[in-house]
Structure 1
Amino acid sequence: MIRFLTAGESHGKELVGILEGIPANMDIDLDFINNELKRRQKGYGRSERMSMEKDDMVILSGINKGKTTGNPISFKIKNRGYLEVLGKINRPRPGHGDLSGAIKYNQKDDVRNVLERASARETAARVGVGSICKVLLKNLDIEIYSHVIQIGGIESSKSIYNKGNIEDIKNADHSIIRVVDSIAEEKIIKKIRKTKEKGDTLGGTIELIGVNIPVGLGSYVSWDRRLDGKIGQSMMSIPGIKAVEIGNGLESGKSYGSEIHDEIFYEKNYFRKTNNAGGIEAGVSNGEDIIVRCTMKPIPTLKKPLKSIDMNTKKTSLAQVERSDVLAVPSASIVAENMLAYILAEEIMLKFGGDSIEELKKNYKLSI
């Protein structure tokens, strides 16, 4: 079983992660991990903090001479935006966890302790975890790709279910907003500029694709073992994500069963000519690509803030203004990739097992 824990705050000294369950003897390329961290920081519409931060993972344990040892892997990522003294916050921002978190943890005199941990900065540690899981998956030729298919209502014409293909999506990093449709990209960039001028923010939709997925990850036996349920929870745990669909999820509610279910064929192996199910049926992977879509709300911190309440005086006021992005959807797509990698790696270890990478590969080869 793979599990992880993160610690740290947005403006704290460091983020820390602990990852347990990775098999021994697996080669770890630190440059690959740091490039994943770099990918998370890119994207048109990000704040000035992204030019300040340069995330690098420092391995503390669990990796020796470039190979995993089977022990828990611990690491840290320095916050270059560390501030020892931070101003008080008592005007919670609509859309953030400020008010509910302050009430829950009795932080009503200063919401700072809430927003520092609730901040999406924590996802840097998750990308660190996910990148190690990606390395595990690569040993089995499993890859994960993502791209942005909608921002501010402007849609890409190249989603998986609309003229898109894996080769297009592999090139998503070539776009500063990770949109592979150049016409849509141009329109979106113009909208981002106008939105920034207005002091407002934007959200959008991400599409993820996992390829070379074996049959049998997840289970229908118990509710908490269903693969789509685990993926849904992992995606919804990313700050700002408000909706998740597996495969052609929303469209399936508008279609006849004869139109949406994927017919089964056989030629040496079972296969389907369509993949509306997104690679998962009854909570179990069916051997087709796993396709996930996530929709992110606009960032709640606005340069022109919304109305709120001063928690000291209880009088109507404007919400606190913190440093913020106009758009974080491209970055969220990288976080989503790495969360999907974590879930798939966990399921791989549950199904095939192995205390070393050699044992895992042997078990995997014998089972598929």
Structure 2
Amino acid sequence: MHYITAGESHGPCLTAIVSGVPAGLKLSESQINSDLARRQSGYGRGGRQTIERDTVQVTSGVRFGRTLGTPVSLVIRNRDWENWTDRMAAFGDAPSDLIREVTPRPGHADLVGALKLDTDDCRNILERASARETAARVAAAGIAREFLADLGVEVFSYVTSIGSARFEEDDPLMVAPDYKPLAIEMSEVRCPDEEASAAMQAEIDRAKKAGESLGGTFRVVATGLLPGVGGFATATDRLTSRLGGALFSIPAIKGVEFGMGFEAARRSGSEVHDPILLDEQAGFVRASNNAGGLEGGMTTGMPLIATVAMKPIPTLMTPLATVNLDTLEVEEASKERSDTCAVPACAVVAESEMAFVLAEAYLEKFGRDNMADIKAAVKAYRQRLKTMAR
């Protein structure tokens, strides 16, 4: 299961096409729209979110609420397009009053993209490099999420820090899977702890007042996974590499850890590796989850936990210095309508990326044609695992 997206931030729409979707999967338009709303929400979001009210239109691959086994196409209309029809027109001449973007923002794709593509207008870069594109990813991932849910797998996220405000946890690798989703969704910063949520919001308020932006960290958790999904034989078989690549594909992501992550480099082996036990009911289990649910590029059956770091958004209301592409003089960087902090929204996008990787890994292992055959293969695999633990 793979996706491709198209569309500019201020173009008429965003489009996603998802291929490799098995037949017979029940889809919910309202569930996809719910995920889109979660992506748009969060304390610290900017003015664009007051304009857009993202909803999906499925234009192929689904009939009467079930997939046909053919590519699924999805469209999200940009309401702000009405204000950009002249400046972003696909054909015709540029308007006489067109203002080019010639003061690239440090930290954004503006300058290096302009150098790469030989353009003197950074808008040709920033429209596609914008995180607005991730709305199409979230819509597309609704298919992967429904597929995983049908097989008992849930993917969720929560924020662990914004700026210097942190959610302190005793043992998140064991406890995080039990956080109540309602507590996360009720928090404006997607943090299950009220005190930490308040501290994060205060950090955002201070940054907004100073014309600054803030990054942070969040965790993405997948529960209900079977052991042995993924592979070890080649580099591209390993879920570790696939998940890392998928998470790093999100704009502004600067770090990814699985399980204990970098802390594992500071400890001895006996403090890092998870002892294997045998449970009469569950079969092979682990006494801890320092590996974060992955060993040798495959799932262990424990919750899969990734911690992700997002840098501050490059657009600053108190801009940094840059060089004007026309005059080659030092000026202030441009200001696009932007957020003070988008860490909670980014966490939702990360859920989507994890869901796609896991969905494809399940399809590789259990078949691709239709949900009935896939479920039968999963059931047979579960039965075999039980016999190996007896």
Residues 156-212 of structure 1 show CA distances to partners (whole Å, capped at 9, x for unaligned) of 024753884334252211100011121111111111111101000000001011001
Q: Percent identity?
A: 39
Q: Is contact 1:102–1:114 with CA below 8 Å preserved after alignment?
A: yes
Specify the alignment match of 2:288 in structure 1. Answer: 274
C-alpha spacing 1:201/1:169, structure 2 compared with 1 (3 Å): farther
The offset of 1:300, in angstroms, is: 0.4
**Partner secondary structure for residue 360 of structure 1:** helix
C-alpha spacing 1:236/1:160, structure 2 compared with 1 (3 Å): farther
Residue 153 (str. 1) matches residue 161 (str. 2): no
Q: Is contact 2:40–2:345 with CA below 8 Å preserved after alignment?
A: yes
RMSD of Structure 2 on Structure 1 (CA) = 1.2
Report the structure number with the largest CA radius of gyration.
Answer: 2
**Partner secondary structure for residue 38 of structure 1:** helix
Q: Is contact 1:58–1:76 with CA below 8 Å preserved after alignment?
A: yes
Specify the alignment match of 2:31 in structure 1. Answer: 32
The offset of 1:267, in angstroms, is: 1.9
Specify the alignment match of 2:356 in structure 1. Answer: 342
The offset of 1:33, in angstroms, is: 0.6
Deviating above 4 A after TM superposition, structure 1's stretches of 4 or more consecutive aligned residues are none
The offset of 1:85, in angstroms, is: 3.3
**Partner secondary structure for residue 348 of structure 1:** helix
**Partner secondary structure for residue 350 of structure 1:** helix
The offset of 1:30, in angstroms, is: 0.6
Q: Which amino acid aligns with 2:240?
A: D
Residue 19 (str. 1) matches residue 23 (str. 2): no
- TM score, norm. by length of structure 1: 0.97
Specify the alignment match of 1:264 in structure 2. Answer: 276
Q: Which amino acid aligns with 1:246?
A: F
Q: Is contact 1:149–1:159 with CA below 8 Å preserved after alignment?
A: no
Specify the alignment match of 1:251 in structure 2. Answer: 263
| Aligned pairs, number | 366
The CA distance in 1 between the partners of 2:38 and 2:170, in whole Å, is 21
Q: Which amino acid aligns with 2:293?
A: G
**Partner secondary structure for residue 81 of structure 1:** helix
Specify the alignment match of 1:180 in structure 2. Answer: 192
The CA distance in 2 between the partners of 1:169 and 1:242, in whole Å, is 28
Residues 101-148 of structure 1 show CA distances to partners (whole Å, capped at 9, x for unaligned) of 1111111x1010100000000000000111110000011010011100
Match of 1:287 among 298, 301, 308: 301
The CA distance in 2 between the partners of 1:164 and 1:264, in whole Å, is 19
Residues 67-86 of structure 1 show CA distances to partners (whole Å, capped at 9, x for unaligned) of 10001001100011111234
Specify the alignment match of 1:320 in structure 2. Answer: 334
Q: Is contact 1:158–1:180 with CA below 8 Å preserved after alignment?
A: no
Name structure 2 gaps, 5 residues minimum: 88-98, 383-390
Specify the alignment match of 2:179 in structure 1. Answer: 168
Specify the alignment match of 1:232 in structure 2. Answer: 244
C-alpha spacing 1:244/1:186, structure 2 compared with 1 (3 Å): same
Match of 1:114 among 82, 102, 125: 125
Residue 140 (str. 1) matches residue 154 (str. 2): no
C-alpha spacing 1:121/1:356, structure 2 compared with 1 (3 Å): same
Q: Is contact 1:8–1:14 with CA below 8 Å preserved after alignment?
A: yes
Match of 1:196 among 205, 208, 211: 208
Q: Is contact 2:173–2:290 with CA below 8 Å preserved after alignment?
A: no
Q: Which amino acid aligns with 2:320?
A: L
The CA distance in 2 between the partners of 1:304 and 1:103, in whole Å, is 25
Name structure 1 gaps, 5 residues minimum: none
Specify the alignment match of 1:84 in structure 2. Answer: 85
**Partner secondary structure for residue 294 of structure 1:** strand
C-alpha spacing 1:201/1:356, structure 2 compared with 1 (3 Å): same
